[in-house]
Amino acid sequence: MKFFTSLVLIGLALSAAAQDNFTPDFIRINTEVQQNSKAYSTLQSATETIGHRLTGSANGAKAEAYAYQLLKSYGYTVRYQPFEVESWSRLTNETRIGGTTASLKNVASVTLAHSPVKASVTAELIDMGNGLEDDYLKSGDKVKGKIALVYLGVLPGSPAGTPTLHRSEKTAIATKHGAIGIILINGVKGGVLLTGTASVTGKLIPIPAVCIGLEDGTQVKQQMRTSPQFASLNMTNFSGMIKARNVIATLKGNSLPEEKIVVGGHLDSWDLATGAIDNGIGSFAIIDMARTFSALRLKTGRTVEFVLFMGEEQGLLGSKAYIAAAEAKHELDEVKFMLNYDMTNDPKGFSTSRSEMKALFTGWGAQINQIDAGFSNVFLAGAGLHSDHQPFMLQGIPTGGGTGGELPNHSGQFYHSDGDSFKLVDEQQLKNTVRYSVMLTYALANTDKIPVTRQSEEKLKAFLLENNLKEPLQIAGEWRWENE
């Protein structure tokens, strides 16, 4: 029986390979990108002439226009998809910590997004470890009326399998248990300060939230073992309704124009640096993917939409606006697959939310491997949250992208920090992202049949449970299967 099953699986893989021989086109794509890619130079230009790309800021608007004009110069009909968003930006911030309220000293910190417009709280610090629900349940109501001190990732020495929650989810749990403020400790050495949203909804949160460096946080935790510590959080921020725009370039399909492949990633960044890694390497790879299709005059059966989302950092606002617009026009069923590029770099294979795609993805990957052995054709099936694929996935739409690569020049430590600059970008690795991703997009848009369809509500629920996404979705208020 096992032998028969193996034969069936081999047959399926061979069938997929026989169905799609894209090697001649992949070779053309490979040559074009290696010789003529503009991703590195356009990203450099954007970081130098625009700077950060915060949604709702003047810089954000410049980035939208920059992407629009660049795609237009490649011969596309480009459109803006405007949406209104509750914009947030930091104004002033002061964090002080000490053994008594009279001996508080300034500690370097950065405000986490969607903290209140104005906040001033002073209270005892309570060490809540990893900041998980269990940490609060074990402490009773000890944190109520106090300021929670929480490690941003998973504390070294934590039990194997300790879940990792997003900073916004940890903030939501602290708020639920009565904390009046939260201080998150970054896990990166060298005093690196990390920003990002502390809100699961993209709306203002009721308590101030800040991030401090690893060394300061470690020292405070040590002091708390022998004596109480107190903290004072004082801040002002801006929040108000503004307009932002997704940027969309469309390549119309020939035989199946009503079926759509969305290739998306977020153009926006936080304001501490230029966002070259998060998400310049993703968004400018997408723009160069579009350039490659145009330069080679590649034809597709299905329509391909290249989408630069704004507002991802503030709560997936641009991708949620895209889904809302598609629903309003009854066009959501047209989207057959969504490929997301968020800090994707030098992929070695393809990932997807749907394991049924393995035969096709690895079949195409084997063809790529014959062109470049550096593409090792790894395959990953699974699902996570907190990027622009999420709104698509929660509608049952299959998602995917590149996998198996590493960020360039140890840049992961500068995620959401003032160290995220263009000098971290690796030109050849960026080219690799572009060429392999053009190949994947081309194959998806031209394969005879995509073996997965949009999931029903029942199948989607089972899929999310299987991927352990119920708890974070409940925290975010996005688990729509009540009483289950």
Contacts of 462 (CB under 8 A, 6+ apart): none
Signed CA dihedral, 166, 171, 176, 182: sign only: positive
Query: Using one digit for the tens of pLDDT, what is the confidence trace for 61-100?
Result: 999 999 999 999 999 999 999 999 777 889 999 999 999 9
Does 202 have pLDDT greater than 60? yes
409: amino acid identity, one letter: N
- DSSP H or E run through 95: strand 78-98
Same domain for 81 and 119?
no
Residue 93 falls inside a structural domain: no
Residue 482 falls inside a structural domain: no
Does 381 have pLDDT greater than 80? yes
Query: Using one digit for the tens of pLDDT, what is the confidence trace for 326-354?
Result: 999 999 999 999 999 999 999 999 999 99
Residue 469 falls inside a structural domain: no
Region 404-421: mean pLDDT is: 95
Same domain for 216 and 247?
no
CA distance 335 to 349: 23
Does 125 have pLDDT greater than 60? yes
Output the average pLDDT for the chain: 94
To the nearest 10°, the Cα dihedral for 174, 176, 181, 186?
20
Same domain for 79 and 119?
no
Closest Cα partner for 34 from 446, 371, 442? 371
CA distance 131 to 154: 9
| Length of the chain (residues) | 484
Same domain for 361 and 277?
yes
Same domain for 271 and 319?
yes
Query: What's the CATH code of the domain at 122?
Result: 3.50.30.30
CA distance 368 to 440: 10
Same domain for 77 and 115?
no
Reading the block at residue 209, the tokens are 């939230």
Residue 401 falls inside a structural domain: yes
CA distance 127 to 221: 7
Residue 280 falls inside a structural domain: yes
Give me the pLDDT at residue 8, please: 39
Compute CA 449 distance to the chain's CA centroid, rounded to the nearest angstrom: 28
Same domain for 267 and 162?
no
* Other CB atoms within 10 A of residue 227 CB: 8
Query: What's the CATH code of the domain at 267?
Result: 3.40.630.10
Residue 235 falls inside a structural domain: no
Region 110-135: mean pLDDT is: 97
Place of tokens 């029903």: 456
Q: Which domain holds residue 350?
A: 21-86+241-453
Q: How many domains does the chain have?
A: 2
Same domain for 245 and 280?
yes
Give me the pLDDT at residue 484, please: 56
Same domain for 222 and 115?
yes
Region 297-321: mean pLDDT is: 96
Closest Cα partner for 408 from 64, 141, 39, 3? 39
Does 472 have pLDDT greater than 60? yes
CA distance 123 to 231: 6
Same domain for 283 and 416?
yes
Query: Using one digit for the tens of pLDDT, what is the confidence trace for 28-59?
Result: 999 999 999 999 999 999 999 999 999 989 99
% of the chain residues with pLDDT over 90: 92
Question: pTM surpassing 0.85?
Answer: yes
Does 205 have pLDDT greater than 60? yes
Same domain for 256 and 322?
yes
Name the domain boundary from 228, 256, 273: 228
Give me the pLDDT at residue 314, please: 87
Q: Is 432 strand, coil or helix?
A: helix
Please list the alpha-helical segments (H only) found in 317-446: 317-328, 358-371, 390-393, 427-446
Does 242 have pLDDT greater than 90? no
